[in-house]
Amino acid sequence: MAEKLFGTDGVRGTANVRPMTADMALRIGAAAGRYFRNDGSNGHRVVIGKDTRLSGYMFENALTAGLTSTGMNVLLLGPVPTPAVGMLTTSMRADVGIMISASHNPHHDNGIKFFGPDGYKLSDEAQTAIEELIASDIEPAQAANIGRARRIDDGRFRYAERVKSTFPSGMRLDGLKVVIDCANGAAYRVAPEVLWEMGATVIPVGTSPDGFNINDGCGSTNTQLAAETIVAHGADVGICLDGDADRVMILDETGKVADGDQLMALMADRWASQGRLAGDTLVATVMSNLGLERYLTGKGLHLERTKVGDRYVVEAMRSRGFNLGGEQSGHIVMTDYATTGDGLLAGVQFLAAMIDSGQKASALTQQFETVPQMLKNVRYAAGADPLSAANVSSAIADAETKLTGKGRLLIRKSGTEPLVRVMAECEDPVMLEAVVDGIVAEVEAASA
């Protein structure tokens, strides 16, 4: 049986530790090349982007070697946001796109995620087929059919034009002071450029990558630096991206953070009022706050929930014909414009709402009252299965009984780390804490 390498968002792990080794990246590249170059011709292309991690050089070269060994022609984009790879895969008529990134993780991690020729992330079936090829003897191309590799210098400019094209015609950002935190990651050049070209006064932070400082004290998961910068400069709004710029957190003029749920609520309401929200439905994951669901219901709109992971959000959107979705963590997917979560694009749409409405960021980022939510992570030993333990099952059943009619409970394993995530929502904060801590204690006991 082939080794399971793909998680909820590609292959991910610590650089130079299996499966994120140069040798494995070469095999992944060769397997992907064999899967997509299935007719033996030499016209097949793959685009490769990356963020700013030091290990990106290693994985870029290893993937290129594997892909060209099976006859694929490689187009190297350099540091670009993940959504740029999805966009350029289609615009450059490539068979597959690859992004080298571990998103919001620290520099010592890295990952490899794939986009199909339609710009959307690969299906589970395609990933399984590639895993099977990795485990087999991969047949290389004949010497005359080895692929070529070349650098593409204008990838970020093409992406910038796509983002700007989504902004209302004739609208400008003149007079708006914007803090943009690029997490020392993939958007460190393109995001400030886009906002400046649209007329904003731009205050950039997290734009000096050195290979090690990606997501370090900055970005969408560490917003304090951006908040302090907003206050210090009297900025109107802050846009915080993560390492590969596929997610965003919006900060208001006081530095207060609004998560993806608030942004999705705003966009759903705006699009619905404009007759643009397909099926009057927003797609979000099981992690989205109960307050979001109540807000949408009050507007006569619907919330469709999926498993955690933006790829599952996108799959539901595509299968049901919906055009707006995302995650509480800041992946905002607008399939009218992009094939995956796009932090910069979502930030630009928020700025359009500010200009169009004439309201401050603080007014637009408080669309609904959140139901108190608590999330705790419990690490367990590799190979263990604490959720199958009798004491854990009993604690979960007891918690569900207590929360009936008062809130909800979600227990799940992380798709990228050996963690059990315990999340609950309840308007009674005392009960909320007791429920979460009780389950956490039992999971810890089962993991000891």
Shared domain check, 247 and 269: no
17 DSSP assignment:
B
Note the pLDDT tens digit of each residue in 19-30: 999 999 999 999
Say if 168 falls within a structural domain. Answer: no
Shared domain check, 328 and 278: yes
41 has pLDDT over 90? no
368 DSSP assignment:
S
Residue 124: pLDDT band (50, 70, 90) is confident
Say if 379 falls within a structural domain. Answer: yes
Shared domain check, 252 and 262: no
378 has pLDDT over 80? yes
Distance (Å, whole) CA 268 – CA 274: 10
Shared domain check, 233 and 263: no
Mean pLDDT of 420-441: 94
Shared domain check, 285 and 382: no
> ω into residue 117 within 30 of 0, thus cis?
no
Mean pLDDT of 185-193: 98
Beta bridge partners of 305: 284
Say if 6 falls within a structural domain. Answer: no
What's the mean per-residue pLDDT of the chain? 95
Say if 3 falls within a structural domain. Answer: no
Shared domain check, 314 and 331: yes
Distance (Å, whole) CA 10 – CA 14: 14
Percentage of the chain with pLDDT > 90?
90
Note the pLDDT tens digit of each residue in 191-205: 999 999 999 999 999
Shared domain check, 140 and 17: yes
Q: What is the pLDDT of residue 416?
A: 67
Specify the DSSP element, H or E, that contains 82: helix 82-91
Domain end marker among 123, 155, 187: 155
Say if 403 falls within a structural domain. Answer: yes
Specify the DSSP element, H or E, that contains 326: strand 324-326
Say if 262 falls within a structural domain. Answer: yes
> Which residues have C-beta within 8 Å of that of residue 212, sequence separation ≥ 6?
54, 107
- Are 76 and 48 in contact by the 8 Å Cβ rule? The answer is yes
Domain end marker among 364, 392, 421: 364
What's the structural domain count of the chain? 4
Mean pLDDT of 4-26: 94
Shared domain check, 266 and 135: no
Q: What is the pLDDT of residue 42?
A: 83
314 has pLDDT over 90? yes
Shared domain check, 280 and 246: no
Say if 252 falls within a structural domain. Answer: yes
Shared domain check, 427 and 322: no
Q: Is 402 helix (H, G, I), strand (E, B) or coil?
A: helix
Separation of first and last alpha carbons in the chain: 30
Shared domain check, 151 and 17: yes
Q: Which of 55, 69, 103, 288 is catalytic?
A: 103
Shared domain check, 247 and 265: no
- Are 160 and 194 in contact by the 8 Å Cβ rule? The answer is yes
Domain end marker among 110, 126, 155: 155
Mean pLDDT of 87-95: 97
Q: Is 103 a catalytic residue?
A: yes
Q: What is the pLDDT of residue 291?
A: 94
Say if 164 falls within a structural domain. Answer: no
Mean pLDDT of 15-44: 94
Q: What is the pLDDT of residue 273?
A: 97
The domain that holds 391 is classified in CATH as 3.30.310.50
Q: What domain range includes position 434?
A: 373-447
In the numeric block, which tokens belong to residue 79?
Answer: 């540091």
The domain that holds 34 is classified in CATH as 3.40.120.10
